[in-house]
């Protein structure tokens, strides 16, 4: 590419990275706020999380537009092209992560604030772990850091173990407190959504790895679907 | 676009659709063969499923290359551009569906053929349901059929109910036959992978809907993450 084209490409790719990073920040916020809304419970905050999801969708659409424009105008090659295509695919996954956060928020109106269910206290730590995976996967993208992407994939096993442990605790609690079953069922759903967020962060990390290296991450026991027995 | 450009574009998009359809067929085969390998059990067939996954990955890479070429050379607009971008994103999801089938195949060597676990007989029906969702989602893409895409999303609720029912059956079986626990744990994992395949087929259907209509599917209780309480 000519020098001015390289500069224009760098500016474009910088903007693309910025939008992905912004989407990731919004998705993280959505997870955190949905969990806050659940813990209090705060149906108004939950409604705001649901409304804010539209902003994530809007940025995804912008990422698509810019990625298409870069491909059409700049004709990037090799690692640059892989990065643009990865941005487009990653934006689709982050959009989906936002949906899971929204789905957690949708449960909040069903949570009974008067009769607090003790195991609810386990969920925020799991949510932080899932949210950290999202941030680390997107940081890896921003830094083109394949090693960091591998670490994200590896960390999914810990999230799955956390899910298994919460699942057992919640089921035991249901058995011992049968009147709470419908409430605890909502918490099981929340835990499952958090685990899926981790699965999607893993997916992003695999895309980052490919964008950075041009090869698929080794065929190993992937953290996500492989480590789970539930 | 000039007339010859339109024709060239039509040829390109036809090729893109063909590749997506081929990927979908391979992913369906992988699901079906992984389940056959599990039911017999047949470790050699399972090994073949794992090896064949590379073909799905290869077509995904081809889809990316062709989509990029179409965007760069043909500068498609509106619905045509949405279709090309959707193909690129759908290919990434189908690649992931192939991974779930591969992960089912990886369980086969751990299945004990001598002491057959009765509830294994439930899984093929669930697999067919998941596999049908994949096919219907990709048929909807080929036909630009938004209504068919909506039906796929709706059908995910039935798959989730199936998963819940199998989950309960398997857990009851474990309680009554404690010596089978490690074997049944593998089947729980398989059921979970099938349910995730349905979730990803739902995701594809949402992309098809957007490609066909230019609007997001209405904010409803999505089949995937919303209907689940486990």
A214 — contact with chain B (CB < 8 Å)? Answer: no
Q: Which residues in chain B have their CB less than 8 angstroms from residue A204's CB?
A: none
Give B2's pLDDT tier (boundaries 50, 70, 90): low
State the average pLDDT over residues A133-153: 96
Between A103-112, A145-154, A171-180, the lowest mean confidence (pLDDT) is in: A171-180
B144 — contact with chain A (CB < 8 Å)? Answer: no
Q: Are the beta carbons of A89 and B85 separated by less than 8 Å?
A: no
A151 — contact with chain B (CB < 8 Å)? Answer: no
Nearest to A225 among B100, B185, B225 (CB): B100
d(CA A101, CA A31): 5
Nearest to A88 among B88, B99, B185 (CB): B88
Q: Tens of pLDDT along B147-160?
A: 999 999 999 999 98
B72 — contact with chain A (CB < 8 Å)? Answer: yes
Q: Which of B217, B207, B215 is nearest to B83 (CA)?
A: B207
Mean model confidence pLDDT for chain B: 89
Q: Kindly report the CA angle at B223 between B219 and B226, in degrees rounded to 5?
A: 75
Q: Phi and psi dihedrals of A188, rounded to 5? A: -60, -40
pLDDT top residue among A152 and A172: A152
Q: Tens of pLDDT along A63-91?
A: 999 999 999 998 898 889 999 999 999 99
Q: Tens of pLDDT along A92-109?
A: 999 999 999 999 999 999
**pLDDT computed for residue A219 by the predictor:** 55
Give B99's pLDDT tier (boundaries 50, 70, 90): very high
Q: Phi and psi dihedrals of A227, rounded to 5? A: -85, -5
Asked whether residue A221 carries a pLDDT value surpassing 60, the answer given is: no
**Under 8 Å between Cβ of A20 and A63:** yes
Comparing alpha-carbon positions, the chain B residue that sits nearest to A77 is: B68
SS3 A121: helix
Q: Which residues in chain A have their CB less than 8 angstroms from residue B221's CB?
A: 106
Asked whether residue B89 carries a pLDDT value surpassing 70, the answer given is: yes
Q: Could you state, in order of their start, the residue ranges of all structural domains in chain A?
A: 3-226
**pLDDT computed for residue B79 by the predictor:** 87
d(CA B47, CA B108): 9
A74 — contact with chain B (CB < 8 Å)? Answer: no
Q: Tens of pLDDT along B115-147?
A: 778 888 889 999 999 999 999 999 999 999 999
Question: In 3-state terms, chain B is what percent helix, strand and coil (to 5)?
Answer: 85, 0, 15
DSSP H or E run through B123: helix B123-142
**pLDDT computed for residue A1 by the predictor:** 57
Q: Tens of pLDDT along A38-64?
A: 999 999 999 999 999 999 999 999 999
Buried b (16+ CB within 10 A) or exposed e, B112-149: eeeeebebbebbeebbebbbbbbbbbbbbbeebbbebb
d(CA A63, CA A66): 5
SS3 A59: helix
Query: Residues near A167 by Cβ (< 8 Å), separated by ≥ 6?
Result: A188, A191, A230, B230
Asked whether residue B1 carries a pLDDT value surpassing 80, the answer given is: no
Q: Tens of pLDDT along B28-71?
A: 999 999 999 999 999 999 999 999 999 999 999 999 999 999 99
Mean model confidence pLDDT for chain A: 89
Query: Residues near B154 by Cβ (< 8 Å), separated by ≥ 6?
Result: B223
State the average pLDDT over residues B84-107: 95
Q: Which of B17, B1, B12, B10 is nearest to B145 (CA)?
A: B17
A99 — contact with chain B (CB < 8 Å)? Answer: yes
Nearest to A189 among B50, B57, B228 (CB): B228
d(CA A218, CA A121): 37
Give B230's pLDDT tier (boundaries 50, 70, 90): very low
Nearest to B72 among A72, A88, A228 (CB): A72
Q: Kindly report the CA angle at B211 between B28 and B201, in degrees rounded to 5?
A: 25
**pLDDT computed for residue B120 by the predictor:** 86
- Burial class of residue A218 (count of CB atoms within 10 Å of its CB; 0-12, 13-18, 19+): exposed
Query: Residues near A168 by Cβ (< 8 Å), separated by ≥ 6?
Result: none
d(CA A82, CA A89): 10
Asked whether residue B224 carries a pLDDT value surpassing 50, the answer given is: no
| Ramachandran assignment for A214, one of left (phi > 0), alpha (psi -120 to 50 degrees), beta (any other) | left
**What radius of gyration do chain A's Cα atoms show?**
19
Express as a percent the part of chain A with pLDDT over 70. Answer: 93
Min Cα separation A143/chain B (Å): 22
SS3 B107: helix
Min Cα separation B89/chain A (Å): 6
Give A164's pLDDT tier (boundaries 50, 70, 90): confident
Q: Kindly report the CA angle at A54 between A52 and A55, in degrees rounded to 5?
A: 75
Which CATH number applies to A3-226?
1.20.58.220
The complex scores an ipTM of 0.81
State the average pLDDT over residues A216-228: 52
Nearest to A226 among B57, B75, B103 (CB): B103
Asked whether residue B222 carries a pLDDT value surpassing 60, the answer given is: no
């Amino acid at each position: 590419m000519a020098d001015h084209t390289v500069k224009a490409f760098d500016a474009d790719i910088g903007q693309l990275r910025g939008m992905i990073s912004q989407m990731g920040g919004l998705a993280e916020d959505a997870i955190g706020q949905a969990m806050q809304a659940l813990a209090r419970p705060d149906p108004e905050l939950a409604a705001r999380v649901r409304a804010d999801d539209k902003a994530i969708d809007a940025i995804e659409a912008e990422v698509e537009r810019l990625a298409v424009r870069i491909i059409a105008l700049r004709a990037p090659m090799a690692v640059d092209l892989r990065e643009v295509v990865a941005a487009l695919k990653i934006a689709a996954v982050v959009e989906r992560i936002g949906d899971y956060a929204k789905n957690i928020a949708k449960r909040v109106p069903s949570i009974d604030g008067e009769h607090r269910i003790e195991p609810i206290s386990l969920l925020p730590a799991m949510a932080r772990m899932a949210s950290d995976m999202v941030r680390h996967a997107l940081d890896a993208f921003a830094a083109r850091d394949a090693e960091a992407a591998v670490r994200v994939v590896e960390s999914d096993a810990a999230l799955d173990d956390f899910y298994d442990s919460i699942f057992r605790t919640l089921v035991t609690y249901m058995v011992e407190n049968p009147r709470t079953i419908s409430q605890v069922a909502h918490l099981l759903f929340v835990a499952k959504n958090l685990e899926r967020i981790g699965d999607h962060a893993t997916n992003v990390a695999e895309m980052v790895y490919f964008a950075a290296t041009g090869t698929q991450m080794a065929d190993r026991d992937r953290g996500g679907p492989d480590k789970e027995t539930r």
